[in-house]
Amino acid sequence: MDGAYEGKLPRPTPETLPFWQGAKAGKLMLPWCEDCGQPHFYPRAICPHCLSDRLDWRQASGRGKLHTYVINHRAAKGFTAPYVIAVVELAEGPRMLSNVVTEGEPTPDMLTIDMDLEVTFDPVTDDITLPRFRPAP
Amino acid sequence: MTGKLSRTCAIVGAAETDTIGKLPGMSRLAIHAQAAKNALADAGLSLQDVDGLFCAPAGPNELSEYLNIVPRYVDGTSVGGCSYMIFVRHAVAAIAAGYCDVALIVHGESGRSGIDMPGLDGPASPNGQFEQPFGTRGAPTTYSLPVLRHFHEYGTTKRQMSHVPAATREWAVLNPRAMMHDKGPITPEDVEASPLVCYPFNLLDCCLVADGGGALVITSAERARDMRQKPIHVLGTGEATAHRQVSMMRDFTTSDSTVLSGKAAFAEAGLDHADIDHLMLYDAFSFTPMLFLEDLGFVAKGEAGAFVSETRTGPDGKLVYKTGPGGDLPMNTNGGGLSYCHSGRYGMYALIEAVTQLRGDAGARQVEGIETSLVHGPGRQFAAAGTVILANA
C-alpha cells in the first residue's frame, strides 16, 4: 500500500498522535476535558473551552450529521473526482472535516444537510488511516 | 460620536503594478517593489520619506532589504487577503502614536506565474493534518463549504448567488484594465452553464488567478493637506481573527470576525449603513460578498440572496443589478476578484479601487456623487477580517 497512495498525508504531532493511533486501530478518538467535561476537535494540548491541560482520550460513537458539504470536481492528488468534502457534526458535539463516501458518483440528490452519517476507516498507508463517513443505514 | 483616531490620517498615494494579470517576468518581490515605487510616485514622495513599512506576503525583513530602506516601524501581519485593510488600521494607530510619519503598505503576488511564492500549511500543521488529507484543493474547495448550510438555513438559492458574478462583470465591462473587460457581459444563466469546479460553485462563481501588486501611502491628515493627491480620509477601521480553517467556523452562516470588524469600523467612523455610497466587499467567490452584506449589517441575516438578485429595467431597457452600474448600492466597481484581478490576497485592489472612486478618477465606471466607501475583506476562509471606511471630504 505504501508508495501507491498519492494523497496528502498528515504528519501527527504530540497532541494529535492518539487521534491518528486510534484511527489506525479503527477507533474515532476525541480529547475530553476532565475539568469542564467537554470534548473538542481538532486535538489540542489544552482544552479550547477552559485552557485545562487535563485531557482524557475517549472513543467517540462514530455517528454524526452532515453539517455542510461540497462536491469537488477538480480532484486533489490521490482523489478521483467527483468526491464529497464535508463538515460532519459528531454526535458528541465537535465538528470535523472529512469525506462522505457514496455508492456511485455523488450528486446533491444523495446528500441532505443534517442527514445521519457513520464513520468508516480507510487505511491509505501502513501508518495512516483516514476516518471518512458514509450515510448511516 | 466618532473614535478618537477617526480622520487623523489619509491615504495620499495608491497604485498598482504597471500591469496586472500575467507577469511572467516578475518575481513576488519585484512585484512588491514596482507597486511601492508606483504608489510613492502617485503620492509625490520618495523612498527616503518612508519610515513605516507594512507588507505581505513579503515579510518586512525581506522587503526592507529589497528596497534598501531602514523603516523605524514595521508590521508583517499576514492573515490573508484582508491583511491590507488591517495594515491601514495599524498605520493609523502607528502614525497617531508618533511611531512613523509616512506608512507604506505593500502587496505583491506572483499568484499565476508562481515565481517565489512560498507554500502555506505543512503536513504537521492543523490544516495539514485535518483538512488537506481529505482532498481540499485550494480556495474553491474551502470557501464553498459554508454555502449549502446557508442555503439550507435561509432558503438562499444558487440562482440568487449567480447574480453576483453577472452584476460584477457589468463593472468590468466598463473598466479597460479589468482582466475580463473584453469578455463582455454574462448572465446568471451563463454562470450556471460554466464548468462545475466544486459544487455549488461553477467556474464563473470563482475569482480569477493572476499576478499583480499594489501599494498605499498613508500619512497624517495634517501633512496630507499639502500633498499632490486629494487626501482620502480614514474614518473608521476594524479587524478581527476567529480561526484559521474553514472547518472551524463556529457558525457556517456567519463570519464572526466580519461582525466584529464591521461594528468597530462603523462605530469609529460614526456612520450608519445609509451613509455608505460605495462598497468594496472582497469577492473571492460569488457567495463571499453575500455573507459580508449580512454580517456587516447592510441586510438582515439570510436576506443577501434576495438583495443581490433584485433587478430592474433601466431607462434604456437594459437590466440593472442591485449592486451593478446604475444600481442602488454600487459594489466591486473595478470588476472585483471575479472579473478584475485576483492574485491571492485581493484586499489591496479593493482598497485602491475605493481610493480611485473617491478621487473621482474611475472613468466610465465612476460612481457619481460618491463621498464614502466601505472596504471589507476576509483572510483565508472567513477566518480573519478587516474593514476600512473612507471618505473624500
- B196 within some domain: no
Q: Give the tens place of pLDDT for each residue, B57-96.
A: 999 999 999 999 999 999 999 999 999 999 999 999 999 9
- State how many domains chain A has: 2
- Residues in chain A with CB shorter than 8 Å from the CB of B195 are 73
For residue B338 the three cell numbers come to 471575479
Q: What is the DSSP string of B351-368?
A: HHHHHHHHHT--GGGPPT
Q: Enumerate residue ranges in chain A where pLDDT < 50.
A: 1-2
CA distance B228 to B72: 24
Residues A56 and A91 in one domain: no
Assess if residue A66 is contained within a domain. Answer: yes
Name the helix (H) or strand (E) containing B12.
Answer: strand B9-16
Determine the distance in angstroms separating the CA of A78 from the nearest CA of chain B, rounded to an integer: 8
Same domain for A42 and A71, yes or no, is: no
CB A129 within 8 Å of CB A121: yes
Residue B29, domain extent = 9-116+208-391
B133–A8 CB contact, under 8 Å: yes
The answer to whether residues A115 and A68 touch, using CB atoms and an 8 Å cutoff, is no
Same domain, A67 and A124: yes
The verdict on a CB contact (< 8 Å) between B152 and A79 is no
Residue B161, in any domain of the structure: no
> Is A118 found in the same domain as A71?
yes
Nearest to A79 among B122, B135, B147 (CB): B135
The predicted pLDDT at position B160 comes to 98
CATH of the domain at B77: 3.40.47.10
* pLDDT for residue A1: 45
Q: Are B96 and B9 in contact (CB under 8 A)?
A: yes
Does A95 lie in the same domain as A122? Answer: yes
In this prediction, residue B308 carries a pLDDT of 98
Q: Which residue range is the domain that position A101 belongs to?
A: 61-137
| Complex ipTM > 0.90 | yes
Which residues of A fall within a CB distance of 8 Å from B149? 67-68, 113
Number of domains within chain B: 1
If asked whether residues A85 and A23 sit together in one domain, one would say no
Cα distances (angstroms) measured from residue B138 to each of A110, B67, B345: 25, 31, 13
Residue A56 lies in a domain: yes
A14 CB near a chain B CB, below 8 Å?
no
Q: How far apart are CA A110 and CA B390, in angstroms?
A: 47
- Is there a domain that residue A3 lies in? no
Q: Which residues of chain B have pLDDT under 50?
A: none
